[in-house]
Amino acid sequence: MVRNLVGADWIEVSGPTLPVLNPATGEEIDQVPLSPPEAVDAAVAAAVAALPGWARTSIMERVRHMFAYKALLESHFEELAALVTRQHGKTLEEARGEVRRGIEVVDFACGAPTLLQGRSLRNVSRDVDQAFARFPVGVCAGIPPFNFPVMIPLWMFPLATVAGNTFVLKPSERTPVGARLLASLFLEAGFPPGVLNVVNGARETVDALITHRDVSAVSFVGSEPVARHIYATAAGAGKRVQALGGAKNHIVVMPDADLELVVPAVLNSAFGNAGERCLAGSVAIGVGKIGNDLSEALVSAASKLKVGDGSVPGVDIGPVIRKEHRDFVIGCVEQGEREGALIALDGRAAKPVTDGKGYFLGPTILDQVRGEMAINQKEIFGPVLSLSYATSLDAALSQANSSALGNMAVIFTSSGKSARRFQEEVQAGMIGINVPIAQPFAFFPFSGWKNSFFGDLHAHGTDGVEFYTRKKTVISRW
């Protein structure tokens, strides 16, 4: 049974549970409790009790603990990656990339003595000085998604706690096992009990957490409908909120692009992580004469990708998270076919190269997808790539900008003029130019636009510092 962490104690919660499954085999790994509001109260109370002492702890002591935590994460790197693969299904190489990106945020948090500095100015008027300093927000809550069970928690609580806040983490009920090791290592690094707490559960648990009177800030990553709910509910309860939602990311391929660069890049973007990521390139738009060559090259290369258990070397695409999600993705493919798209590569009957009764789906390419089709608008979150065509960059921009979501947009081109126009005019918060996945490093914000983000301050980078601190301005005359 997965347990909650309350202060220094791992507590087993009685009551309803959900199975935690290995999606590559369908086997049960563990059971996760659906914690009731009373369990949320206990976790928040532990965070409240730890807050005054932790907020007064010197910044250098907080940072020493964070350096110790980073060292422990590095020493358990392979264990963390294996846990990600076992509970989520992504390949071991992809899991290693996830863990590395998470540790990079801890690296960033170790710069707190610089990041948390205020500012001062003497003699703003005669004999009057003015300064501001950063203070903790209070008890913060984090609700990460199933698809990055190590990386995204590390986007949240390291920055929050190094700034002097305490934290309650609610891991995804589908992939909660990684959080247990993250929290155990946090305690081992010397952080006081109650600085980080873990409460497991699903919607009832989340709603109790984001409306709790003692929670001051909420960070969420997940689908667009849930992000909208989290933002409206938590902000309505007076909380500071950052809610990262879904995506429908477009990759524009110009006629002057190098296909030898484009094809592996698009395959990585569309099918990496089995398409279960908010930076997946889900629509490729061939502009002008490159369209036919792009389609043929993508289908040929994608058909060679190997599907199977992500823990086995040589596998390119692991399973999707659950059978019901596999059924949903297949339903989207069938809807696209009904709308007039052509199935250029059908992954529905793909045979995995490994044994097991997992939730496998091969790479699927839908060709001749038009802008008005539902599959061009909604997030599928699976290994499905839509191919569209445009006569010009104007038309490609129009299609990309018609989406209600605006997480990422990418262009492949050898023209600086086209690239600059694209980055200026496309309505997305993260832009790639000749790169497949426009994921910012930890010291820049993860800056989705439109319905891909609800709030004002984004995750990590300087936005993360701003989100987890509040300012006090002092005007003085002596």
Catalytic machinery residues: 278
Residue 264: closest CA among 298, 295, 291: 298
What end-to-end distance do the CA atoms of the chain give, in Å? Answer: 61
**Could you give the angle at which helices 59-75 and 177-188 cross, rounded to 10 degrees?**
130
Which segments within 170-324 are labelled E, that is strand?
196-198, 217-221, 240-244, 249-253, 281-287
Helix (H) or strand (E) holding 41: helix 37-56
Distance, CA of 178 to chain centre: 15
Note whether 44 and 212 are within 8 A (CB): yes
Local structure of residue 122 (DSSP, 8 states): E
* Dihedral sign, Cα of residue 107, residue 110, residue 116, residue 122: negative
How many alpha carbons lie under 13 Å from residue 406 in its C-beta half-sphere?
19
Q: Strand 240-244 relative to strand 217-221: parallel, antiparallel, unpaired?
A: parallel
Structure tokens at 176: 């909660």
